[in-house]
Structure 1
Amino acid sequence: MPLLGFISNLSAIAELLGKLLQHIIGIHLSIAGRKFLQEFAGNPDRFIDGEIQNRLEKA
């Protein structure tokens, strides 16, 4: 049954794409986290003040 082979191949390709996407997202989040820490590690109050300001603007 060629159809079963085709479906099996699609499944394998989808699984590989899913793993690749998870890897890309992981790298992106790692870079974003590193930038976040570099920016706010020296001055945590700046982040807290920014969050308070954001919430006040939304209200």
Structure 2
Amino acid sequence: MTDLANREAVNVLVWDERQPRRAEAYDNFIGQEIAVRLKAKDKDIRLMSVALDDPKQGLPSENPD
């Protein structure tokens, strides 16, 4: 069994095109929905939700490795 108290945080980058038509099906785009649900499952996730319309298309150098 894994000792969850001593595990390292996991970096997760959710990248979404945020197409306007997708917003019709989701309250806040599918990428953001995925991010919210992942964070709800595991508070130790270092999570970023970015998109094509963010600076550098959401992939600046300060994103987690």
TM-score scaled to structure 1, two decimals? 0.31
Relative contact order, CA 8 A, sep 6+: which one is greater? 2
Higher helix share: 1
Higher strand share: 2
